[in-house]
Chain A
Amino acid sequence: MADLSINFAGIKSPNPFWLASAPPTNSGYQVQRAFEAGWGGAVWKTLGDPILNVSSRFAAVSFNGQKVAGFNNIELITDRPLEVNLKEIYETKKRFPNHAIIASLMVEPKAEKWHEIVKKVQDVGVDGFELNFGCPHGMAERGMGAASGQVPDLVEKQTYWAKEYAQVPVIVKLTPNITDITVTAEAAIRGGADAISMINTINSLAGVDLNSWNTIPHVGNKGAHGGYCGPAVKPIALNMVGECARNPYINVPISGIGGISNWQDAAEFILMGSTSVQVCTAAMHHGFSIVEDMIDGLSNYLDDKGLASVMDLVGKTVPKYSDWGDLDLNYKVVAEINNDVCINCNKCHIACEDTSHQCIDLYTEDGRPMLKVREEDCVGCNLCSIVCPAEGAITMKELVHTQPPMTWNERQSLISGFAANSSSIAR
């Protein structure tokens, strides 16, 4: 059986599955239940100066009858006294010495504030810190969370202040509410971050009630934007992890966060460069027991792949992630329909006909409805295979190269080479 334990910038954890800093890690009772269920680590609900919360706080988006495709919250950081949290962190760590407890922190962007909280929390024995530069609602209006996380200089400075007193690894949690996340990631590293984690939640409004015309959620008929997470944000998070992982200036471990609901999602984040993964929405939807299959599934997957340790999986897809300009313009796939498997829902036909390249023909053969791709017109867009509900009915077939591989960047440099040559000849 593969070894699932990780060493994340010096933080040891029996497995890569951590609960993200959020409602599930609000108290010692909850975190201890999580560890009993099998979670390898927990990032404690963000500590800072006491706040007040509102009611209601959460909302979710359903998609085609599936509950919680996306999740939105306007809850702030912990609303419990710091002393209570510290006492419970201490007790939890004592009961579970081999599990990772990371304290999430958020204070005003002032050196003394960071020094003070780091010292206080460090004394109870946490394994690491996670600086919350991502919370997009409420706290941001007071200059904290995402508001400071969107300013690279503030990210760098605050990281530096925390690092001045931190004796355990410092993770910087980044906000996705920014154009290029690698900029703030680099700022964190300049500040001395031992690791980065992403993504925090995305600015969002879950919906509008069509009867009352209230926002969803609303607090006494008034709403404010919240932070979006859950399965819907996974592709956004995965890209941000990948962009950081392949950036040559970002050489610290990454904790991947964003819509991770099962071991497959986790494995994708790990392949994309995450050493640990953090989960919240899936646990809020189904309870802590979901970690059992995460551990079991990942373990079986590693065994199937012949990998001895989950650490061997980290970042394996990163070299395959690149810029559009580095993609081979002469690589070609076309759709191929297997009429023996096809169930004739014609979804591929209408998708192609209405919205793509009009290359799937409907016809009958001996009275039997059939579908065929006109390969010469197929651009290999994948749409038909995406909408096809019948497993194996449509495959995207690789065509033999008729021309040598050539990327856009190679093509442009060739053209500019020709131009330079011809202009020098002309001269």
Chain B
Amino acid sequence: MSNSLAKNFEEIFDGLTTYAATVEANRCLYCYDPPCVKACPTSINIPSFIKKIASNNMKGSARVIMEANPVGASCARVCPTIELCEGACVLNSEEKPIQIGHLQRYATDWLRESDVNLFTPKPANGKKIAIIGSGPAGLSAARELALLGYGVTIYEADEKAGGLNYYGIVSFRLPQDVVEWEVQQVQNLGVEIKTSTKIGEDVLVDDLLANFDRIIVAVGMGKVPMLNIEGEHLEGVYDAIDFVKESKASFTDKMLGKKAVVIGAGNTAIDAATCSVRLGAEQVQIVYRRTSKEMTAYDFEYDFAKQDGVEFRWLSLPKRVIGDEAGKVIGLECIKMKLTDIENGKGTLTEIPGSEFVIETDAVIRAIGQAKQYELIEHLGLANTRGVIDVEMNSLKTSNPKIYACGDVIYGNGYGEATVVSAAQQGKDSAYAIHYELNANSEIA
């Protein structure tokens, strides 16, 4: 069974052919002071790497990308390019933007296949950094610190390194081998990654503080919060993050021919819905209390889900999960919503009395965002605002001067975007801030 499903989870796009990449690379105008670079959170010199593809300097091209972005191969696949570099491309007004994401993938695919070593760390400087979390932010920080000569140890609670990139994004958008390769690149620089190691359980915070010069917290976000409605403990109700994570390990047949409802309309909801389709679900619906205008999924994700046959039910608020006598999900009761006063921001949502309806379903998947990492943050004793670690604006330093934080764990109070590429940049930023501080100190001393 799982073999036939495996095909559904192969990467949806094969990548540019050499011919297509050459044509596309030559189409790039090589702008001066280009808007695409400004739009890239990691400031990849895009015209430079594209011109290098055109001149068949593939090693140089890959270096430009990976130097600026340690998870450049992942970003080539999951970046919302139309919101970033491609959206800023000057050719938008002339014909269509350069396919920067696809070209970045072409160059990084070349690098993965050629197995060329691009980077050599500086001699060890004797200082040690602990990084908690091996997602894009943690890997990025580790790569930069390792290159600067720091001894870096990453602690990862999960079995595999890679964090969100490994577990949280469906494999048909980001295959695991890409993430494994990026992890390997960081390990090649001498970074030690201790997987299946939980801070506070397997390793104590005090020990970290005692044994390392600085600590970076890059633990991302947690599971999907509960809906707090009746019946959500029934068999057949899933956490979208767990659901996607499970699909990375094996393809179960639990969705085969079944009906599924996904609650929420963000990136993870789209992943859970399309994942369900690819696991063989017969009908998949996304239920969202607001409308397509307010959803946080990108337009290209929305289009992708529609192409996969996912249906959308707007202005519908789940009220109750209905189960059968055996305790299995058989339906989801919703109520119709009314959106008024739209002129004022998000508008006012009100239930329409008596509009209750039931969607017959075998599975309900919660995808209403991710919970904060309260427990760990408390453990580390860091000041936070509703579960978001407070950091200094540029240095990303937390309330404990030895601890820095980056990535999704600081997202939510006006800092950054919840994207892989933004996490990668914050990882770099925290690494440079630590390097600056430690060097400044040593010079003074």
* CB proximity of B114 to chain A, nearest CB, Å: 16
B26 and A64 contacting across the interface, CB-CB below 8 Å: yes
Query: Contacts A344-B90, A345-B90, A390-B94; is A65 near B32 (CB within 8 Å)?
Result: no
Chain B residues with CB under 8 Å of A390's CB are 94
Stretch at the interface among A278-286, A346-354, A403-411: A346-354
Q: Mark B74-104, 1 if CB is under 8 A from A, else 0.
A: 0000000000000000110110000000000
A343 and B93 form a contact (CB under 8 A):
yes
| Cβ-neighbour of A350 out of B23, B32, B94 (below 8 A) | B32
- B412 touches A (CB below 8 Å): no
Cβ-based interface call for B291 (8 A): no
Chain B residue nearest to A388 in the complex (CB): B29
In the complex the two chains form, is A345's CB within 8 Å of B26's CB? no
What residues of B have a CB within 8 angstroms of the CB of A362 in the complex? 33
Assess the B54–A345 pair: CB atoms within 8 A: no
Indicate whether B31 reaches chain A with its CB closer than 8 angstroms.
yes
A179 CB → nearest B CB, Å: 35
Which residues of chain B from 6 to 39 have a CB within 8 Å of any chain A CB?
Answer: 22-23, 25-26, 29-35
Q: Does A389 contact B (CB under 8 A)?
A: yes
Interface size, B (range): 10 to 19
Partner of A389, one of B25, B35, B94: B94
Contact across chains for A349 and B32 when beta carbons are under 8 A apart: yes
Q: Report B296-340 residues with CB < 8 Å from chain A CB.
A: none
Interface centre among B23, B32, B35, B93 (most CB of A within 10 A): B32
List residues of chain B with CB within 8 A of the CB of A389: 29, 94
Give chain B residues whose Cβ lies under 8 Å from the Cβ of A64. Answer: 26, 54
Residues of B90-143 at the interface with A, using a CB-CB cut-off of 8 Å, are: 90-91, 93-94
Q: Are B26 and A346 in contact (CB under 8 A)?
A: no
Residues of A within 8 A of B29 (CB): 345, 347, 389
- Contact check, A343 vs B26: say whether CB atoms are below 8 A apart: no
Interface size on A, residues (CB 8 A): 13
Fill in one digit per residue for A65-87: 1 if any B CB lies within 8 Å of its CB, else 0: 11000000000000000000000
| Given A65-B23, A65-B25; A346-B32 close (CB under 8 Å) | yes
On whether A65 and B54 interact (CB within 8 A), knowing A349-B32, A350-B32, the answer reads yes
With a cutoff of 8 Å between Cβ atoms, the chain B residues found around residue A345 in the complex are 29, 31-32, 34, 90
Flag if A344 contacts B35 (CB, 8 Å): yes
Which residue on chain B has the smallest CB distance to residue A64?
Answer: B26
Complex Cα spacing A332 to B54, Å: 38
Q: A344-B35, A346-B32, A349-B32 are in contact. Are A65 and B90 (CB under 8 A)?
A: no
CA distance A362 to B34 in the complex (A): 13
Q: Which residue of B lies closest to A65 (CB)?
A: B26
Closest to A349 in B: B32
Identity of the chain B residue whose Cβ is nearest the Cβ of A362 in the assembled complex: B33
* Minimum CB–CB distance for A376 against chain B, Å: 23
Contact assessment for A347 and B31 in the assembled complex, using a CB-CB cutoff below 8 Å: yes
- The 8 A CB mask of A250-273 against B (1 = contact, 0 = none) is 000000000000000000000000
Partner of B91, one of A65, A343, A347: A343
Tell me the minimal C-beta distance from A393 to chain B in angstroms.
Answer: 10
Given contacts A64-B26, A65-B22, A390-B94, contact A346 B31 (CB under 8 A): yes
Residue on A with the closest CB to B24? A65
A375-393 contact mask (Cβ, 8 Å, vs B): 1 or 0: 0000000000000011000
Residues of A within 8 A of B93 (CB): 343
Q: Which residues of A contact B23 (CB under 8 A)?
A: 65
CA distance A345 to B94 in the complex (A): 12
A256 nearest CB across to chain B (Å): 30
For B23, B25, B29, B30, which residue has the most chain A Cβ atoms within 10 angstroms?
Answer: B29
A245 to B99, CA, bound (A): 48
CA distance in complex: A349, B32 (Å): 8
Query: Chain B's nearest CB lies how many Å from the CB of A340?
Result: 11
**CA A64 to CA B94, docked complex, whole Å:** 20
CB distance from B83 to the nearest CB of A (A): 19
B-contact 0/1 string along A332-345, CB 8 Å cutoff = 00000000000111
> Hey, which chain A residues are within 8 Å of B33, CB to CB?
346, 350, 362
Chain A residues contacting B90 (CB-CB under 8 Å) are 343-345
Measured CA separation A65–B93 after assembly (Å): 23
Residues from chain A with a CB closer than 8 A to the CB of B26 are: 64-66
13 contacts between A and B (CB under 8 A): A64-B54, A344-B35, A345-B32, A345-B34, A345-B90, A346-B33, A347-B29, A347-B30, A349-B32, A350-B33, A389-B29, A389-B94, A390-B94
Interface residues in chain B, defined as those with a beta carbon under 8 Å from any beta carbon in chain A: 22-23, 25-26, 29-35, 54, 90-91, 93-94
**Besides A65-B23, A65-B26, A346-B34, 15 other CB < 8 A contacts?**
A65-B22, A65-B25, A65-B54, A66-B26, A343-B90, A344-B35, A345-B31, A345-B90, A346-B31, A347-B29, A347-B30, A347-B31, A347-B32, A350-B32, A390-B94
